[in-house]
A = this chain, B = another copy of it.
Amino acid sequence: MQDIATRVWNHKWKIDPVVRSLIDTDFYKLLMCQSVYRNRPDTQVTFSLINRSTHVPLAKLIDEGELREQLDHVRTLSLTRGESTWLRGNTFYGKRQMFRPDFMEWFENLRLPAYDLQRKGDQYELTFEGAWPEVMLWEIPALAILMELRSRAVTKHLGKFELQVLYARAMTRVWEKVERLKTLPDLRLADFGTRRRHGFLWQDWCVQALREGLGDNFGGTSNCLIAKNRDLEAIGTNAHELPMVYSALTTDDAALARAPYAVLADWHEEHDGNLRIILPDTYGTEGFLANAPDWLAGWTGIRIDSGDPATGAETAIRWWQERGEDPREKLVIFSDGLDVDKICALSAQFAGRVRVSFGWGTLLTNDFRGLVENDALAPFSLVCKAVEADGRPTVKLSDNPRKAMGPVEEVERYKRVFGVGEQVAADVVV
Say yes or no: B3 contacts A2, CB within 8 Å: yes
The answer, among B3, B159, B209, for a CB contact under 8 Å with A212, is B159
- Given that A1-B9, A2-B3 are contacting pairs, would A171 and B175 also be in contact in the complex, using a CB cutoff of 8 Å? no
Do most interface residues of chain A lie in helix, strand or loop, or is the interface mixed?
Answer: helix
Closest to A171 in B: B168
Say yes or no: B162 contacts A212, CB within 8 Å: yes
Say yes or no: B9 contacts A5, CB within 8 Å: no
Interface size class of A (residues with CB under 8 A): 20 to 34
The answer, among B5, B9, B169, B213, for a CB contact under 8 Å with A168, is B169
Say yes or no: A165 contacts B160, CB within 8 Å: no
Q: Which of A160-216 contact B (CB under 8 A)?
A: 160-162, 164-165, 167-169, 171-172, 175, 208-209, 212-213
Q: Mark A124-164, 1 if CB is under 8 A from B, else 0.
A: 00000000000000000000000000000000000111101
Closest to A1 in B: B6
Residue of A9, A167, A172, A212 with most chain B CB atoms under a 10 A cut-off: A172
Q: Which of A1-37 contact B (CB under 8 A)?
A: 1-3, 5-6, 9
Residues on B with C-beta less than 8 A from A164 are: 171, 209
Residues on B with C-beta less than 8 A from A159 are: 212
Residues on B with C-beta less than 8 A from A172 are: 165, 168-169, 172
User: Closest Cβ of chain B: how far from A365's Cβ, in Å?
Assistant: 15
User: Closest Cβ of chain B: how far from A149's Cβ, in Å?
Assistant: 25
Q: Mark A243-279, 1 if CB is under 8 A from B, else 0.
A: 0000000000000000000000000000000000000
Provide 15 A-B residue pairs closer than 8 Å at the C-beta atoms, listed in order of the A residue: A1-B5, A1-B6, A1-B9, A2-B3, A159-B212, A161-B212, A162-B213, A164-B171, A165-B209, A167-B168, A168-B168, A168-B171, A168-B172, A168-B175, A172-B172
